[in-house]
Structure 1
Amino acid sequence: MLDSETKPDNFTFACILRACADNSDLKGLRLVHGGVVVSGLGWDSIVSSALVTAYSKLGLIDEASMVFKWVLETDLVLWNSMISGYGSCGDWDKGLRLFGMMRRMGKNPDGYTVVGLISGLVDPSLLEIGQGIHGFCLKSGFDSNAHVGSVLVSMYSRCKCLDSALRVFESLSQPDLVTWSAIITGFAQSGNTEKFLIFFKKMNMEGKKADTILVTSLLAATAQLAMVGPGSEIHGYVLRHGFELDIMVSSALIDMYSKCGFLRLGIKVFEAMRERNIVSYNSVISGLGLHGLAYEAFEIFNEMLEKEFEPDESTFSALLCACCHAGLVKDGREYFRRMKDEFGISTRIEHYVYLTKLLGMAGELEEAYHLIESLPEPVDSGLWGALLSCCDALGNSELAEIVSHRLLENKSEKIRYRVMLSNIYAGDGRWDEVSKLRDMEGEMRKMPGISWVRGNNSPSLNC
């Protein structure tokens, strides 16, 4: 196009920017952005909205914000793009502030504005804010908008407020597949097996066919709650509709069966796969590791390398977890080294947590301590917590005291880890120290432990 001296217009740039975002092509995005500036279309609302959306999709919210601020005359589409960008990147507070600024400037929001606002509310602690936005939707008449209704159902489901999610769902005349998926996944994640299966069947009866995204989400939820009954029902649905050919669905089946204690069924799914990718290999390595079959996990890893699949961060998390469950310190150290030196993979907190647990439970508490100390500040409290739990298990109150002082620097962790340290002192017979801890914190209350045990499809409560 450029060779023929045809100049791209704003729609051309918008299409190219969308393609860059869809393909996670940051280099291409920056090149196109440069072309936009050179062409003089940097002020165009269509191009600016496309730039904001593209940068947001790639997680570069600061760059998106800079584009937004440089536009002199912002229209509703651009405001919505920026608010949605904040939502997709988890900056819900900035999205709300921008929404307030938009209202003060006399810009009237529409359904897409509130969709962008609600999409950022992913934590149950944000329920009250979500309810406030829902109230605004009711006052403004946006509640009749199918897309708004869908994201409200999703928001309430994510915030574990399923009664409200169900009320919104039932108020919609024709819920789409996304809305059905939100309510069904919400019930599944909350452990409400009965309603999850009822609504799944209802959806099919109304002619809405579940897609691979919904099936994968439901399998992940049943895996998290170790519900093999509903998981196997979904497996039946997968087989009836030919979804077993989808790599992500098969990988989710492997994960579900492994976490539900039916490893052999997970391996059968893996062996039946016509095509595999890194996710399916990671799933089976993780499953073998969780069941203490570390050496079998190592064999699958070697097979993966022979097939020329490149391992990623999750691969080594699964391998280190396998070493942790089997107590293989030497192998754990070696995989940690290979991850960094051989494959050039950046370490994540979870890698250090597994290595800390591995060293700690093997009695190498000092090495685990020095490993954490070597990390740049601030050190994640989960690492100190992992080491403290090892001290608790091995009865090392001396190191536990040192570790606890590092943990207690974090106010939000005080009660949780003081209880653990108190238990360590009590086990060591140091009752004066126990009393001091209680005086420092005041009255420490610990909820009695409870667990749900499923048998013959009926749950019973153990205290």
Structure 2
Amino acid sequence: MWWLPPAAALLRRSLAATARLSAPGYLMLVKQPTARTNSPMTVRCLQQCGSHNTDDDRVSQAFKRCCSTIASSGASEASPSAAYVKNLCRSGNLVDAVRVLRQLHDEQIHVGLHTFNMLLQHTAEANSFALFAKVFRYLLLSKLPPDSTSYMNVAKAVQKLDDCELILKFVRELLEITHQRDPTVMNRIIFATAQYGHIDKSLVIFEELKKYQTSLDVVTFNTVLDMLGKAGRVDQMLREVKLMEELGHFPDIVTYNTLINCLRRLGRLDLCKRFAGEMLERGITPDLRTYTALIDSFGRSGHITDALEMFQKMKKSHQPSVYVYRALISNLKKAGQFELAQKLTEDMNSSASELIGPEDFKPKNKGRRFRKKG
């Protein structure tokens, strides 16, 4: 009797099941969006008809090729299955690809993150959110940590949804899986969706998380505050700061830097001073970003004395940066204090080799940055 490796035996069962799903007995029906829903998302449903004919030749040939791959390349158990899923994606047979993924999950055969990301990309591009949601759930259940590509695909899929109920259903399903984990998954979904330009959809997710207080942390609020501040929604940002403390999540250095930087850009010096004072009262030491934002804010608003006082405080605990020198010198010139500006310029040039440069301000978490595609 011909003996098959475990991976080949499992793959034969997977391919047989896939062949039955690909047979004429299963038809893909596409429901076009109506004027009432006005949604670009195509809703796909699978209906079973009477016939159960199978394409034995196709399955047999696919199986032989995969077995040949196992024998000739010594590939790991997951490789042939991943290759087959890839081929199904390339052929546009996403329903079968997701069903194979489910069977592999049920059999506890693991595929790599690349395979999940490939399926997420294809289902998102095909506007099949139901399939997309299944793939992302299987990814979370696999215990593989999603990467920036995974979350970018979530943002791409969510942006095509006009129905908030579908978004909320998706969030609730994810919370069922992640309720005993930290809120990283939901935090990154909020971040990615906002980075993709869909702030309101990020806020829909955030509002749902408020119902499950264990699914929130300081990072969640910091992400939302930054998003609201960049959008100029000051009042809403301040409400969330208040709620943050009411729920027992106290601001950290990132919170205050986010608030002060956003308010500085919006010209709200009064609020910058308020949060800087609150920060010091709570024993949180300002860092270089905090000082830079405050000095620039004071200088731009004509409060040169406050800016210089803050600059002297900064020098006691931090090496000044090129940014803060240039900002302060520029603001002094605008205020007509050319002699003092010249003195600071000489001070900057004499200590140029010791100053903090642009590379020290680069974000450390590069994986969390997404490009918004037009």
TM-score (norm 2): 0.48
TM-score (norm 1): 0.40
Structure whose alpha-carbon radius of gyration is higher = 2
- Greater helix fraction, Structure 1 or Structure 2: 1
Q: Which has the higher contact order (CA 8 A, sep 6+)?
A: 2
